[in-house]
Amino acid sequence: MHYNAMHMESQLTVRLPSELATALERTRRKSGRRTSEIVRAALREYLRLGSAGDARPGERVRPLIGSLDSGVPDLTEEHRAYILESLQRAR
């Protein structure tokens, strides 16, 4: 769901401790998202109202990264070879 000012129904002003303000600013710069977007996403997550459409693809799968076992011990180092082999088999 994409938000814009015309669809907002309420406004909230919040005072933040400096550590939270610094972390929020750092996240804003790294993500390229507006502060309000980050705060809305954090509130949705905290309140369990998540909307997968608002998150970037990497954010949606972040909990899965590194959690799966392929059973292939050298997949990280040889991923290109495995992909090429898979493509050859598909022909």
CB 24 within 8 A of CB 30: no
Query: Residues of 10-30 as b/e, b for ≥16 C-beta within 10 angstroms?
Result: eeeeeeeeeeeeeeeeeebee
- Output the pTM of the full model: 0.48
Q: For residue 4, what are its two tokens?
A: 């814009």
50-83 pLDDT, tens digit each = 555 556 777 777 777 777 777 888 878 888 888 8
11-30 pLDDT, tens digit each: 999 999 999 999 999 999 99
Query: What is the per-residue pLDDT for 4?
Result: 55
Question: What pLDDT score does 38 carry?
Answer: 93
